[in-house]
Chains A and B, each alone.
Chain A
Amino acid sequence: MTQNVRVTTPHAPATRRPRLPRSALLPGLLAMAETAFAHEQQGVPAGLASGFLHPLTGLDHLAAMVAVGLWGAQLGAPAIWILPITFPLVMAVGGVLGVLGIGLPIPEIVIALSALVLGGAVAARLRLPFAIAAVVVGVFAIFHGHAHGAELPKSADPLAYGVGFVVATGLLHLCGISIGTLSRSPAGGRLIQGLGASIAVLGCYFLMRSFGGPS
C-alpha cells in the first residue's frame, strides 16, 4: 500500500528565510553581457560567409541544386555518385568564366529554366540516358557557377568565397540526395515528385520574372 506522506524536515526551523527568486538574477546576467560583434567582417570571414550564403539565400540556386540531388537519387547509379563529384568541377568552370568577366548569353533565363527543367524531370520521374542527363545538368552548372563568380563581393577574400560556395553547393546536393533516398518507398517517391513539381512551379515564377513579369 502506498501512502502520500507529506515530507517535512524533522528539525525544520519555525520560520523560513526569504528566498530571492532566481529570475531576479536575470538582470544581473544581462548586465554582464559583452559586446556582440554582429557587423559584417572583412577578408576571410566575410568571404566564407558570403560564399556559403550565396547559394543558400538565392532561391533559384537553392531550388536547382536540391533538384539536381533529387534527380540524381531518382536516376540511381551511376548518376547518384558521379553527380556530387563532377558537378562542382563543371560549376567551377562557370565560376572562372564569371570571375574573368566572360559573359554568357541570357544567364538569368537559363538559371530560371534550370529550376523548371530539373524540377519537371523530378516530377515526371524522367529517366534520360546518363550521358544526356549529364549534359543537361552540366550546362546548368556552368550558368550557376558563372552567377556565383560574377557576383563576388569586392570586400570578400576570393579563396574564402570559393571555399564557401563550393561547400554550400555540395551540401545542397547532399541534402537533395538524402531526400531523394525516400524514393525507395512508393509514398516517398510521390513526395519527391511533389517536391519536383514545386521546384518546377518556382522555376516558372523565376522565368516570368526574368522576362520582366511580376516581381
Chain B
Amino acid sequence: MRQFASRYESVRSVAVKRLLGRVGFATVVLLAAAQTADAHIVASRLGDFYAGALHPLTDLQDGVLWTALGLLAGSLGATHGRWLVLVLPPGLLLGLSVGLSVGSTWIAPLASAAMMVVLGLLVALGLRINVAALCVIALVLAFMRGVVNAGGAGAATDRVLFGAGLAMCGYAFIALITALTIAFRRLDAQPSGTWRDIAIRACGSWITAIGLIAGGFALAS
C-alpha cells in the first residue's frame, strides 16, 4: 500500500512538472508573439489630457529642469519640498495660459540653459536657500515651461484638459523626484556629507554641465 502511494505521488509530481513546463513554454510563445497594445483612448476627449501630460515628458528640457528642481528641493529637505508641489502646478498653468495667448516662441533656449546652470550649481555647491527663494525659482521655472509647453496645444485642443494634464504631470514628476531624493539622502539615518550627498551634488554638477553645453549650442546657433 505504501509503495503504491509513493509511486502515485511520483507520477503526480512528474505530471505536474510536465504541465508546468508546457504552460511556461506556451507563455513564452504568447509573449514573443505579443503585438503593440493600442490601449490609449486618444480618440476620445480625454486625449487632450494625455497630450498635456505627455508633452513635457517628450522634451528633454522639461525632464532635465524638473529633475534639477526636484533634486534641489529634495536636498534642502521635506519642509522645502512640500512647498514645491503647491507652487509648480499653478506656475505651469499660468505660463500655459500666457503662452496660449501671446505665443510660446519668445522663451529663448538660452533662458532654459541658464536655468539649468543655476539649479545645477545650487545642487552641486550644496547651497541652502530659504523656502521663499525656492518658491520664486520654482515659479519662474514653471512659468517658463508652461509657456513653452503651450506650443504643444493645437487650435482644436481642449485647453482645460491640456492644462490639467500638464499640471498633473508636473505635480507627479516633481513630487516623485523630491521624495526620491529625500529618501535617498536618508538624513534621519546618516549625517550630511556622506557619499549619498556627494552623489546628489554630482548630479547637480552633471546638470550644470548639460546647461553649459546647451547654452553654448544656443549661442552658436
Contacts and interface: CB of A to CB of B under 8 A. Distances in A.
A136 interface: no
A95 B216 CA distance: 8
B25 interface: yes
Interface stretch (B76-84, B134-142, B181-189, B201-209): B201-209
A160 B220 contact: no
Interface residues of A, number: 37
A170 B202 CA distance: 8
Contacts of B88: none
A159 B11 contact: no
A81 B11 CA distance: 62
**Chain A interface secondary structure, helix, strand, loop or mixed?**
helix
Contacts of B60: 44, 157, 159-160, 163
B216 A166 contact: no
Contacts of A161: 213
A162 B29 contact: no
A22 interface: yes
Given A99-B220, A100-B219, A160-B60, A88 B33 contact: no
Given A7-B11, A29-B32, A163 B124 contact: no
A41 interface: no
Contacts of B25: 22
B32 A96 contact: no
A118 B61 CA distance: 35
A166 B198 contact: no
B91 interface: no
Contacts of A49: none
A39 B195 CA distance: 40
Given A32-B32, A84-B198, A85-B201, A166 B210 contact: yes
**Chain B interface secondary structure, helix, strand, loop or mixed?**
helix
B91 to A, nearest CB: 22
Contacts of A99: 213, 216-217, 219-220
A162 B220 contact: no
A96 B210 contact: no
Given A22-B25, A160-B60, A163-B64, A86 B213 contact: no
Contacts of B202: 84-85, 88, 170
A93 interface: yes
A163 B64 CA distance: 9
Interface string A6-25: 01111000000000001001
A128 interface: no
A37 to B, nearest CB: 13
B201 A9 contact: no
B124 A159 contact: no
A149 interface: yes
Contacts of A70: none
A101 interface: yes
Contact of B213 (A25, A84, A162, A167): A162
Contacts of B214: 158-159, 162
A89 interface: yes
Interface string B173-195: 00000000000000000000001
Interface string A87-127: 11101110111011100000000000000000000000000
B20 to A, nearest CB: 14
Given A99-B220, A100-B220, A157-B60, A166 B213 contact: yes
B41 interface: no
Given A159-B210, A166-B210, 7 more contacts: A5-B6, A8-B11, A99-B216, A99-B217, A159-B214, A159-B217, A162-B210
Interface of B: 6-8, 10-11, 14, 25, 29, 32-33, 60-61, 64, 124, 195, 198, 201-202, 204-206, 208-210, 212-217, 219-221
Q: Which 8 residue pairs of A and B lie closest in terms of their CB atoms, listed nearest first?
A: A96-B216, A92-B209, A162-B213, A158-B217, A92-B212, A99-B216, A88-B209, A84-B202
